[in-house]
């Protein structure tokens, strides 16, 4: 199936030439997930990136005590992408992603992405740059969150 037009909507892919998007499209598969289904599980091995084309998902982290909390919600209106770290580093998933509504995604494996980058190096560099920017922004946001948590802890200790 040709997903070229759907791909054009994703900010990560907005500067990719149409012919490269068409080539990328051939490497994708569509997956559907019912509401409540875990798409990714924190701690599991990962090797795929997901482009959310329909629905919304919760990104969930576990605490050191085994509780979990929703870090953020992603939706199709934002043309959200998740699991992108797995295209760069085959380490374990950093969070759980659970379908909040019925969802439809486009999925690419690390192996397919690597092959695409070898066959389309200029496009691969652009995509890796966009993935890197996305990851750096997440790190910066988490650093700010840690700073706020640290400040709240200090204030709690000083007050107590």
What three-state secondary structure class fits 107? strand
Q: First-to-last CA distance in the chain?
A: 61
CA nearest neighbour of 130 among 113, 111, 144: 113
* Measured distance CA(54)–CA(152) in Å, rounded: 37
Average pLDDT over the chain reads 91
Question: Do 78 and 126 touch, CB atoms closer than 8 A?
Answer: no
Averaged pLDDT for residues 5-25: 89
Averaged pLDDT for residues 85-94: 89
pLDDT, position 134 = 81
Averaged pLDDT for residues 3-32: 90
pLDDT, position 14 = 81
pLDDT at 11 over 80: yes
Half-sphere exposure of 46 (CA within 13 A, CB side): 26
Cα–Cα distances (Å) from 22 to 17, 39, 49, in that order, read: 9, 26, 18
pLDDT, position 32 = 98
What domains sit in the chain, N to C, each tagged with a CATH number? Answer: 4-159 (2.60.120.10)
Q: Determine how many CB atoms are found less than 10 A away from the CB of residue 131.
A: 18
Phi first, then psi: what are they for 76, rounded to 5°?
A: -70, -25
CA nearest neighbour of 126 among 118, 114, 117, 135: 117
Phi first, then psi: what are they for 44, rounded to 5°?
A: -80, 155
Contacts of 132 (CB under 8 A, 6+ apart): none
pLDDT digits (tens, 9 = 90+) for 33-83: 999 999 999 999 999 999 999 999 999 999 888 889 998 999 999 999 999
Question: Do 96 and 106 touch, CB atoms closer than 8 A?
Answer: no
pTM: 0.86
> Can you give the length of the chain in residues?
160
Averaged pLDDT for residues 141-154: 83
């Amino acid at each position: 199936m040709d997903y070229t037009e759907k791909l054009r909507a994703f900010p990560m892919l907005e500067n990719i030439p149409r012919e490269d998007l068409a080539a990328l499209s051939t490497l994708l598969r569509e997956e559907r997930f019912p509401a409540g289904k875990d798409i990714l599980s924190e701690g599991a091995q990962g090797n795929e990136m997901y482009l959310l084309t329909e629905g919304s998902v919760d990104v969930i982290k576990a605490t050191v005590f085994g509780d979990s909390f929703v870090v953020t919600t992603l939706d199709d209106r934002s043309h959200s992408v998740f699991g992108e770290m797995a295209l760069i580093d085959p380490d374990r998933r950093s969070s759980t992603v659970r379908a909040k509504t019925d969802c439809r995604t486009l999925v690419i494996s690390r192996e397919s992405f690597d092959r695409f980058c070898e066959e389309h190096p200029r496009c691969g560099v652009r995509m890796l740059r966009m993935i890197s920017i996305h990851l750096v922004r997440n790190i910066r946001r988490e650093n700010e969150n840690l700073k706020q948590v640290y400040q709240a802890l200090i204030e709690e200790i000083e007050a107590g």
